[in-house]
């Protein structure tokens, strides 16, 4: 007979857990036979003692097997996905799924909600009236098969062990453990029945991985554990020391994604570069292109022809959203009542941003959650955000705030002004690379 306290003791003493012990723990997460205190104790033991690759693979597979595991038999193309570790202004999933679908991939994207200062793909999509992020499994299957992509929310029957373990880790200061983050992300991705995964590991002052070293460690862990569990994965470590793109906030980011897909406005350079880089990895993983250069040509053609925008429009309609969202976004994406420019406090060059603080401004405005059950104000946020390296005159707008009332707008103006660093225009400036490293 296996005892929870003996498994905790083994890990506390730094011993490797075997598959039977790990499966006992994961069963206990789901059926409640491990108490909250025991789950917390093992989480802390792993946090302090770590896990070897074999242990992390076993934990990932056991958590994957704790619920429904999807299968995609008879698919005419590869089943692919992308996952981001979370950033500020990161709306890329909204463009990536339809772009890869337009190039022959099948993307069953099961996305998350906002966490802390980072926005969530599911929240963004719920800014579209009628869009359902919880379709019946048969509808999800049909939409992915017919359109090539569907973006929905986390379902309770996929990796249910992860949901309980994460909730305990969240309140016991054990979230930042590389093997536990790895198992949390990959158990859900493996349960979705994927054949290839592109990971975007954000790194910098707006990211969970604050340092390049932590980013590298997490990327290597995810690529190796995924490989050990039978899922081909590539990871890009990407810069999150500034807001990604021009918009932050739910409805504003949907509008930004529509503008990007349709090409109605010029595409913001960093957003375009990272979208192409991640999509290209997915096409190569799926055998849809021989290399990333060829993949980029296919992807650009899918944008230029309107094929990617068409997939997005059809996905929105299939999931209950308006059929003419792309033609008339302003009719559906509600505007905030107060829209105010944020003036630059001085002339010069933008040389820094406290990206995490900018993400928290969205929470303060009501566009992010303080508590898990909070309702969101989809209208609020920031757009026309200045980018690092840009030159400004005193009083020029560094961003535009969209707020529910004047008082909230005033607070946001003060907070954003304090989070953007402007130096003399003549100061030497060199932009950081967007993709810092590739792993896998």
Q: Answer yes or no: 324 catalytic.
A: no
Q: Which is the catalytic residue, given 83, 234, 349, 379?
A: 83
pLDDT tens digit sequence for 142-194: 999 999 999 999 888 999 999 999 989 988 999 889 999 999 999 999 999 99
Report the distance separating Cα 437 and Cα 440, nearest Å.
Answer: 10
Asked if residue 121 belongs to a domain, the reply is yes
Q: Which is the catalytic residue, given 66, 84, 155, 262?
A: 84
Q: Is residue 119 pLDDT above 90, yes or no?
A: no
Q: Which is the catalytic residue, given 61, 164, 169, 379?
A: 169
Q: Answer yes or no: 298 catalytic.
A: no
Asked if residue 383 belongs to a domain, the reply is yes
Asked if residue 323 belongs to a domain, the reply is no
The pLDDT, as a whole number, for residue 118 is 82
Q: Answer yes or no: 81 catalytic.
A: yes
Q: Are residues 156 and 250 in the same domain?
A: yes
87-88-90 Cα angle (round to 5): 70
Q: Which long-range contacts (CB under 8 A, 24 or more apart) does 160-163 make?
A: 160/29, 160/30, 160/66, 160/67, 161/26, 161/29, 161/30, 161/62, 161/63, 161/66, 161/67, 161/187, 162/63, 162/66, 162/187, 162/188
Q: Answer yes or no: 211 catalytic.
A: no
User: Mean pLDDT over residues 318-333, rounded?
Assistant: 98
Q: Specify the CATH number for the domain of residue 313.
A: 3.40.1030.10
Q: Are residues 222 and 253 in the same domain?
A: yes
Q: Specify the CATH number for the domain of residue 373.
A: 3.90.1170.30
Confirm if 336 and 379 have CB atoms less than 8 A apart: yes
Q: Which is the catalytic residue, given 61, 82, 202, 311?
A: 82
Asked if residue 70 belongs to a domain, the reply is no
Q: Are residues 415 and 376 in the same domain?
A: yes
pLDDT tens digit sequence for 248-280: 999 999 999 999 999 999 999 999 999 999 999
Q: Specify the CATH number for the domain of residue 33.
A: 1.20.970.10
Q: Answer yes or no: 188 catalytic.
A: yes
pLDDT tens digit sequence for 182-229: 999 999 999 999 999 999 999 999 998 999 999 999 999 999 999 999
Q: Which two tokens stand for residue 182?
A: 């790895």
Q: Are residues 365 and 401 in the same domain?
A: yes
Q: Are residues 208 and 293 in the same domain?
A: yes
Q: What is the mean pLDDT of the chain?
A: 96
pLDDT tens digit sequence for 43-95: 999 999 999 999 999 999 999 999 999 999 999 999 999 999 989 999 999 99
Q: Answer yes or no: 163 catalytic.
A: no
Q: Are residues 97 and 171 in the same domain?
A: yes
Count of structural domains within the chain: 3
Q: Answer yes or no: 169 catalytic.
A: yes
Structural domain of 223: 80-318
Q: Answer yes or no: 184 catalytic.
A: yes
Asked if residue 63 belongs to a domain, the reply is no
Q: Answer yes or no: 189 catalytic.
A: yes
Name residue, tokens 């650009």: 300
Q: Is residue 115 pLDDT above 80, yes or no?
A: no
């Amino acid at each position: 007979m296996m005892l929870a306290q003996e498994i905790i003791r083994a890990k506390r003493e730094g011993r490797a857990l075997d598959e039977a012990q790990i499966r006992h723990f994961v069963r206990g997460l789901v059926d409640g036979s491990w108490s909250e205190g025991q789950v917390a104790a093992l989480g802390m033991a792993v946090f302090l003692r770590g896990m070897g690759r074999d242990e992390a693979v076993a934990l990932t597979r056991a958590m994957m097997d704790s619920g429904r595991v999807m299968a995609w038999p008879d698919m005419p193309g590869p089943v692919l996905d992308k996952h981001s570790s979370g950033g500020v202004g990161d709306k890329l999933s909204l463009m990536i799924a339809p772009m890869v679908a337009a190039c022959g991939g099948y993307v069953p994207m099961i996305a998350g909600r906002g966490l802390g200062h980072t926005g969530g793909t599911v929240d963004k999509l719920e800014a579209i009236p009628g869009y359902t992020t919880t379709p019946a499994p048969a509808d999800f299957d049909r939409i992915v098969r017919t359109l090539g992509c569907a973006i929905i929310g986390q379902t309770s029957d996929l990796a249910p062990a992860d949901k309980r373990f994460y909730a305990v880790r969240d309140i016991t200061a054990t979230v930042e453990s590389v093997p536990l983050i790895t198992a949390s992300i990959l158990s859900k991705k493996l349960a979705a029945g994927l054949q290839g995964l592109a990971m975007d590991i954000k790194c910098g002052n707006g990211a969970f991985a604050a340092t390049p070293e932590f980013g590298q460690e997490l990327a290597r862990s995810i690529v190796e554990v995924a490989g050990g569990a039978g899922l081909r994965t590539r990871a890009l470590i990407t810069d999150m020391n500034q807001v990604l793109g021009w918009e932050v906030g739910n409805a504003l980011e949907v509008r930004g994604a529509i503008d990007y897909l349709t090409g109605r406005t010029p595409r913001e350079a960093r957003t375009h570069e990272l979208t192409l880089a991640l999509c290209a990895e997915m096409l190569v993983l799926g055998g849809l292109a021989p290399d990333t250069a060829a993949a980029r040509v296919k992807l650009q053609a899918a944008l230029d022809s309107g094929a990617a925008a068409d997939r997005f429009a059809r996905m929105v309609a299939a999931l209950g959203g308006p059929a003419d969202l792309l033609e008339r976004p302003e009719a559906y994406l509600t505007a905030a009542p107060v829209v105010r420019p944020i003036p630059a406090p001085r002339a010069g060059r933008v040389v820094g941003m406290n990206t995490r603080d900018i993400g928290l401004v969205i929470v303060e405005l009501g566009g992010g959650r303080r508590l898990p059950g909070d309702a969101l104000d989809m209208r609020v946020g920031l757009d026309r955000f200045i980018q690092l390296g840009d030159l400004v005159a005193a009083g020029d707008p560094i961003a535009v705030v969209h707020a529910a009332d004047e008082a909230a707008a005033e607070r946001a103006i003060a907070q954003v002004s304090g989070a953007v660093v402007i130096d003399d225009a003549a100061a030497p400036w060199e932009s950081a690379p967007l993709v810092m490293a590739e792993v896998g």
